Chains A and B, each alone.
Chain A
Amino acid sequence: MPGQRVFLHSRTLPVRMVAPSLKLQDLIEEIRGAKTQAQEREVIQKECAHIRASFRDGDPVHRHRQLAKLLYVHMLGYPAHFGQMECLKLIASSRFTDKRVGYLGAMLLLDERHDAHLLITNSIKNDLSQGIQPVQGLALCTLSTMGSAEMCRDLAPEVEKLLLQPSPYLRKKAILTAVHMIRKVPELSSVFLPPCVHLLHERHHGILLGTITLITELCERSPAALKHFRKVVPQLVQILRTLVTTGYSTEHSISGVSDPFLQVQILRLLRILGRNHEESSETMNDLLAQVATNTDTSRNAGNAVLFETVLTIMDIHSAAGLRVLAVNILGRFLLNSDRNIRYVALTSLLRLVQSDHSAVQRHRPTVVDCLQETDASLSRRALELSLALVNSSNVRAMMQELQAFLESCPPDLRADCASGILLAAERFAPTKRWHIDTILHVLTTAGTHVRDDAVANLTQLIGGAQELHAYSVRRLYNALAEDISQQPLVQVAAWCIGEYGDLLLEGNCEEIEPLQVDEEEVLALLEKVLQSHMSLPATRGYALTALMKLSTRLQGDNNRIRQVVSIYRSCLDVELQQRAVEYDTLFQKYDHMRAAILEKMPLVERDGPQADEEAKQSKEAAQLSEAAPAPTESQASQLLDLLDLLDRASGDAQHPPPLDPSPGGALVYLLDLPCAPPPPAPIPDLKVFEREGVQLNLSFIRPPENPALLLITITATNSSEGDVTNFICQAAVPKSLQLQLQAPSGNTVPARGGLPITQLFRILNPNKAPLRLKLRLTYNHFHQSVQEIFEVNNLPVESWQ
């Protein structure tokens, strides 16, 4: 009985009966019968245990059945690696049933990453040279699916022999195996190139198709092959022409088109051959026109061929008339009711829009209609294409459509749509007012999806459009009054209200209906923004600053504002707290300066956020410089105290005492900001000391990226007859500067121009105070100990300015 093994041992041992192993169908039945995932897992695990046991026992009769079951289980997603060696055994067997399952298993379970796959190379080799067609077919299939580079190299000659076999069944497979080999080992193209041209003469479509694929692969991989195969373009043209013009052939026709797959493949190859090559392109022109006009487009097969034709026309050097034809075909596709066709049309038009912009423009209305599609893939494509089609003449109309789309589009497209609209508006805006309107509309509709720099762009835009200040601030106020949840909108609105609050309260603006706005209302609105839990910290910052600015713009008294500011002095958010504290200080101590500080912002250049910040802050610093002459005077008096420090001089850095709080002290950080640095001229070296052949030189470097830093290198040289030993150099600078001494290169300068000692001083001079330097030297020379203290005179001005 199949599947039953009975072990008969001596009487003392029990008779063991093994249950018959399941057939594949039975296993499938069982799995289907499992009601839950857990049950299914149980069944499968049990069966896998059986299979494993059977493999261990090495039963040759049912091995193929076990492996078949294992493959099924593998397909469902369970691990099956223990079947790999069994595949090898099955392939090596002589029975066809075994080989079949074995090869199938090899295709599914083995792959390049496991070393075991090399073991089947020999079996495949034997099977390939056997001469039994199904077996050879199996071997070729397996090789083409999972052949690794080594296997391909070993078996290439066998496959090449099979290319010339009379049987089309085998030749087809051999050609496909060759395609796979070329992909794995491009060097084999020399082996497979010669038969190609010969194979093109075949009548059998399967072989033709395989050959065309092989040639395509070869051409894609090597330019030499590409040149070689340009010779066959006329032949390909002929084949395609025959296909298109011959009548209905039962063998190869699909819905009226004669072998569309072969046609598509030939067209693809023609595309590769004709790209960037005038001569081949010209040969193809007529044919392409013929295919385009003759193909029956009522069914999908015809449309597939037509689509491929269009792609080919677009890629080669085709005649102008042909390109127009291609675009028109795509336009026709767009009007087709079948969505698939519309999708491919939109995709191809997107590719075309760069090169044939005007031709695509003609189809703009249809594209815009496609925006209304419910299908997500289609509307996304339509959106991309519409954005690409916007130009200065149609921008108003297109923007209207796109904005309508923005309101109704699915959320994942919103971000793209919003940024697309903003970009297009930037490039093609006819007037500033239209631009502001558009951005405003985008912010109100899709505020949360816009990019971060939209806020900065908008503020800059509004700032630049002087005549529109009143208009923009009113519109923003209205928008803000309605809805304070869209953060970018709130930020821009807060900034505007702060800057142009006086214009808001004036009441009159000709472009928008007059609105009486009360001071209290404005303040209430800003407070609402501050307190709302929907506001981000950045938004709150904007609102607080806006409130401060209004304190100078509004006529009424500032008690309310002062109250709000003082509340936020104890806010948990550090940024907000700092602002509140500073503004409060401004109210209390520096009220006289408030108006100057909170003046209207100057217009910033548009090069980038970094430039904006520097420009803004340097201008504010300039405004403050008249107000703060005192700090420099107080520092001058401290300079003279420097020399006391020398007794304590060591290598440590010296810390300047804290600066007196000077007017504008809270804002002193502005003064510390580096201005645009002057181009650094090299500072001349200075000889500071000379005694009996021992010389000390100073060289200065001011790195351009940090103008407050000065690097001094002292070099001690010895031209005398005696060595200098135990050389120590110490330095002192005024209290407002910071000095750091780095370790010297050594303590000894050998006699007669020996290796000098160098040491680096780092001096930080943020206030650009005049540099004074005192040096103290101690060393041994000619058996005498020398000590020198002196101040360096004639320090070059560039070292500290």
Chain B
Amino acid sequence: MIKFFLMVNKQGQTRLSKYYEHVDINKRTLLETEVIKSCLSRSNEQCSFIEYKDFKLIYRQYAALFIVVGVNDTENEMAIYEFIHNFVEVLDEYFSRVSELDVSFFNTVFHGTWQAHSSPYQESIDEPPKICSALEPQQACFSPDSSFKGAASTTPIY
């Protein structure tokens, strides 16, 4: 069972976090810093599964962003690994070449996508465009404001 889902960048800033079990708010920041520390200390040749306290962490790196999923013992790690990639593919489809900037500015969208795409107990791989179309009516009020252009780079993360 998935315990939490994090998107943290290399500097340790949390871009998105979703907890499926109650964790105190001050413990969350602690958890996130420790998790990102253990992920950053791994090199490219090491495997993507870490044991942390009583969770297993499965992480994938996309440019400067780490996506980390914490699970308990009963999950198939490789399926989760595949699932993270699937999620990123959906985002890519929705945002057309999604970047970290998109993640930080539209995290409410991300919450919605996450809900539509998955739940803590299942992974569903409806094809990305289908998910996006399901999102449309909900995201109407959050469409990217074209008048806004960030100074930061918008390098795609996928």
Cross-chain contact of B83 among A74, A97, A179, A261 (Cβ < 8 A): A261
Asked if A304 meets B47 with Cβ closer than 8 Å, knowing A71-B108, A77-B25, the reply is no
Q: Indicate if the CB atoms of A375 and B77 lie closer than 8 Å.
A: no
Complex CA distance for A590 and B37, rounded to whole angstroms: 66
Return chain B residues, CB-CB under 8 Å to A68.
108
- With the chains together, A138 CA to B138 CA distance in Å? 10
State which of A82-90, A340-348, A511-519 sits at the interface with chain B: A340-348
The answer, yes or no, to whether A260 is at the interface (CB within 8 Å) is yes
| Number of A residues, CB within 8 Å of B | 66
| Nearest CB in chain B: distance from A523 CB, A | 50
Task: Chain B residues near A145: list those with CB within 8 A.
Answer: 20, 120
- The interface residues of chain A lying within 8 Å CB-to-CB of B81 are 300, 304, 340
Whether a CB of chain A sits under 8 angstroms from the CB of B50 is: yes
CB of A176 within 8 A of CB of B121, answer yes
The contact string, 1 if C-beta is below 8 Å from chain A, for chain B 17-39, is 10010100110110000000000
Instruction: Indicate if the CB atoms of B138 and A75 lie closer than 8 Å.
Output: no
Are A378 and B25 touching (Cβ within 8 A)? no
Contact of B82 among A25, A32, A104, A304 (CB under 8 A): A304
Chain A residues contacting B104 (CB-CB under 8 Å) are 28, 32
Chain A hits for B83, CB < 8 A? 261
B45 touching A375 by the CB < 8 A rule?
Answer: yes
Contacts of A134 in B (CB 8 A): 137-138
How many angstroms between the C-alpha atoms of A74 and B119 in the bound complex?
21
A28/B105 contact (C-beta < 8 A), A206-B124, A340-B49 known = yes
Are B47 and A342 touching (Cβ within 8 A)?
yes
Provide the bound-state CA to CA distance between A144 and B81, in Å. 24
Which of A251-259, A415-423, A734-742, A779-787 forms part of the interface with chain B? Answer: A251-259
Asked if B107 and A209 sit within 8 Å, CB to CB, the answer is no
Query: Using Cβ atoms and an 8 Å threshold, which residues of chain A touch B28?
Result: 77
- The residue in chain B whose Cβ has the minimal distance to the Cβ of A255 is B82
Query: Pick the contact of B46 from A141, A205, A300, A339 — CB < 8 Å?
Result: A339
Does any Cβ of B come within 8 Å of A264's Cβ? yes
Any B CB within 8 A of the CB of A248: no
Q: Name the contact of B111 in the complex, choosing from A29, A96, A104, A206 (C-beta under 8 A).
A: A104
Q: What are some 29 contacts across the A-B interface (CB < 8 A)?
A: A28-B104, A76-B14, A78-B25, A79-B25, A100-B138, A101-B108, A104-B112, A112-B22, A138-B138, A176-B122, A179-B122, A205-B125, A209-B123, A209-B124, A260-B79, A300-B81, A303-B78, A304-B76, A311-B76, A339-B47, A340-B47, A340-B48, A340-B77, A343-B47, A375-B45, A377-B46, A377-B47, A377-B49, A377-B50
Q: B interface vs A, CB < 8 Å?
A: 14, 16-17, 20, 22, 25-26, 28-29, 42, 45-51, 76-79, 81-83, 86, 104-105, 107-108, 111-112, 115, 119-127, 134, 137-138, 141, 145, 148, 150, 152
* Shortest beta-carbon contacts, A-B, top 10: A339-B47, A304-B78, A375-B46, A77-B29, A261-B123, A304-B79, A343-B47, A340-B47, A176-B119, A97-B141
Known interface pairs A77-B14, A304-B81; 10 further A-B residue pairs with C-beta atoms within 8 A, sorted by A's residue number: A32-B104, A75-B17, A79-B25, A259-B125, A261-B79, A304-B78, A339-B46, A339-B47, A343-B47, A375-B42
